[in-house]
Structure 1
Amino acid sequence: MIFKWNFFPWMVISFLLILIGVNACQGQLLGEEGSQVPSHKIWDELLNKYVHKNGIVDYENFQQDSILLGDYLNLVSQNPPDRNQWSREEQLAYWINAYNAFTVKLILDHYPIESIKDLHPFPYIPGINSVWHLEFFEIGGKPASLDQIEHKILRKEFEEPRIHFAINCASYSCPPLRPEAYQAGKLDMQLEHQGLLFINNPKWNIIDREDVKLSSIFKWFKEDFTKNKSLKEFVNQYSENKIKKSQNISFLDYDWSLNDH
């Protein structure tokens, strides 16, 4: 009896470690040979209809087209990227659109809510302790999560810092949800435009002669922005007001309230 009591906690810990390991690896397995690049037309039309130019999302009315959104997500789910055949731009556009569309689906399924953080699972379990770890959809028949798309695929496979301007976490402090789908043929232009919109709007970043307060995104993912240059140099590529070498950078508190106002 004593043996069982001592052994049981280690069984639980071992199981949880295995679970974390599985989750950590799954993102690299999402894909399929011979798949076709899906059309993002439906998603483009929905974004144009329900997302304002300032990034505010009309979730209340978006619910009217939840079936159409489901049609698009089924198309995405059934056509995961072929890493050997799809271009880099086709894969990036796919994953960015998938992340944003599944996030919107998550919000619509629980609307009205005050914050995406209200959807954190309870009780908390290591490895799946936030809404971003929930495997609430499939890619190519495999369970998937938003965390896998962002950290195991977009950040790990592409080393493209501008994805942080494009993926949207349904929160007020997130970079704005673009009112159009990302498309391989104009992806670079779209990402550059997102950088300009995000960095030069005082809602997200304050850059002037007296003060420099950047979004917490630049703190959380600093390593993504500083692989080839300093953070100041990266931001100055987009900022109309240049950060001087003598200026110190602080970071704004992140507002996780829903981006519907």
Structure 2
Amino acid sequence: MKYITIVLLVLLTASCVGGGDLYYDTLEKGQEIPSENGQLDHSKWDAILKEYVNSEGFVDYVGLKEEQAELKEYLSYLNENVPQKSWSINEQFAYYINLYNANTVDLILMNDLPASIKDIDGPLGQVWLKKFAQVGDKEYSLAAIEKNVLQKMGDARIHFAINCASFSCPKLQNTAFTAANVDALMDKSAKEFVNSEKNDLSDPQNPKLSSIFDFYPEDFTQNGMTLAQFINQYADSQIAEKDSYSYKDYDWSLNSQK
């Protein structure tokens, strides 16, 4: 009976995620993302980020609440510009990262700045399954954008580019992603996160890693890489190869400015 309950829960969760109808391309193995100019205008989101997000990635939600109409205008712009097959993969990465981050910020504002994003209800009690991010004539959950689009596009750095409004998340960059900067900005996000206090690399033989590396192990070990090899691309202090690592507890408290 317990096995049947678990299977039903997994199937129900999978059915709640959705997002399979959103268009995206995938990277070929080892493919690099070239820098190129795109056609979408993310300047409104960029202005919001520069005004209300500090260099540490903490958000002035109280101040932004007064300007929520500007955020809504940007979300409407994304809603009206549905990803197309003609878009470059750079354009797609930038679109979906900004879609995830802007909707997460809006979700916090719509729910009156909860102590944690996990305090917001959703299907099966999971906020990640709550469908509210509109693209075209449909609504999608954060899980749909992350798991059924961004993860499948094939670049693990997206885990450092998207922000879940929590202290232990990679910081929310105060620059919007664009087709021109998405590769460099994902690289910057990865380097900042790996070398931040979210990981403890002070003992290279026994590092204590962010739980993000435990949440998505397959993403960080694709293309034949070990976890240590992936991290060492960005780490100032190289960590040792190990069969298993220790992981830090995840702090889900809101990433708000004091």
- The 5 Å alignment of 1:157-176 reads 158-176=153-171
- 2:108 matched residue in structure 1: 107
Amino acid paired to 2:95: Y
Structure whose alpha-carbon radius of gyration is higher: 1
Whole-Å separation in 2 of the counterparts to 1:257 and 1:56: 12
Q: 1:241 aligns with which of 237, 242, 252?
A: 237
CA distance in 1: counterparts of 2:215 and 2:166, whole angstroms: 16
SS in 1 for 2:134: strand
- Structure 1 residue 249: deviation in Å? 2.1
Matched, 1:213 2:208: yes
| Of 73-82 and 129-138, the range deviating more from structure 2 | 129-138
Where in structure 2 are there 5+ consecutive unaligned residues? 1-7, 25-37
Aligned to 2:35: none
For the aligned residue pairs, the C-alpha RMSD in angstroms reads: 2.3
**Post-superposition offset of 1:21:** 6.0
Q: Which position in structure 1 is the counterpart of 2:59?
A: 57
- Indicate yes or no: 2:25 matched with 1:30: no
1:5-61 deviations in whole A, cap 9, x for unaligned? xxxxxxxxxx9999756544x3121249xxx95311100000000000001111010
The whole-number CA distance in structure 2 between the counterparts of 1:17 and 1:54 is: 36
Q: Does 1:133 align with 2:134?
A: no
> What residue number does 1:69 align with?
71
In structure 1, C-alpha distance between the alignment counterparts of 2:69 and 2:12, rounded to whole Å: 33
Q: What is the rounded CA distance, in whole Å, between the counterparts of 1:105 and 1:27 in structure 2?
A: 19
Runs of 5+ consecutive residues of structure 1 not aligned to the other structure: 1-14
Q: 1:16 to 1:215 in 2, by over 3 A?
A: closer
Aligned length: 235
Q: For 2:218, give the aligned amino acid.
A: E
Conserved? CA contact 1:38–1:75, under 8 Å = no
- CA contact 2:133–2:142 (8 Å) conserved in 1: no
Q: How far apart in 2 are the matches of 1:232 and 1:86? A: 34
Asked if 1 retains the 8 angstrom alpha-carbon contact of 2:82 and 2:135, the reply is: yes
The 1:116–1:246 alpha-carbon spacing in structure 2 relative to 1, beyond 3 Å, is: closer
Query: How many angstroms apart in 2 are the aligned matches of 1:134 and 1:112?
Result: 17
Asked if the contact 1:78–1:141 (Cα under 8 Å) also holds between the matched residues in 2, the reply is: no
Q: Deviations over 1:160-206 (max 9, x none)?
A: 1000000000000000000010011111110111111001012x000
Q: Measure, in 1, the Cα distance between the counterparts of 2:12 and 2:81.
A: 26
Q: Which residue of 2 aligns with 1:5?
A: none
Residues 64 and 21 (structure 1), Cα distance of their counterparts in 2 relative to 1, 3 Å cut: same
Matched position secondary structure for 2:235: coil
8 A Cα contact 1:218 1:225, kept in partner: yes
How far residue 151 of structure 1 moved from its aligned partner, in angstroms, is 0.3
- For residues 135 and 248 of structure 1, the distance between their equivalents in structure 2, rounded to whole angstroms, comes to 36
CA contact 2:228–2:239 (8 Å) conserved in 1: yes
- Alpha-carbon distance in structure 2 between the residues aligned to 1:169 and 1:120: 15
Please give the alpha-carbon distance, in whole angstroms, between the structure 2 residues aligned to 1:227 and 1:17: 24
Say whether the 8 Å CA contact 2:40–2:91 is kept in structure 1. no
Give the TM-score normalised by the residue count of structure 2.
0.85
**Is residue 253 of structure 1 aligned with residue 249 of structure 2?**
yes
Equivalent AA in structure 2 for residue 199 of structure 1 = V
Aligned residues with identical type, % of pairs: 40
Runs (4 or more) in structure 1 with deviation over 4 Å come to 15-22
| 1:184 counterpart residue number | 179
Q: Choose from 41, 44, 56 the match for 1:42.
A: 44
User: Which amino acid counterpart does residue 186 of structure 1 have in structure 2?
Assistant: N
Specify the alignment match of 2:95 in structure 1: 94
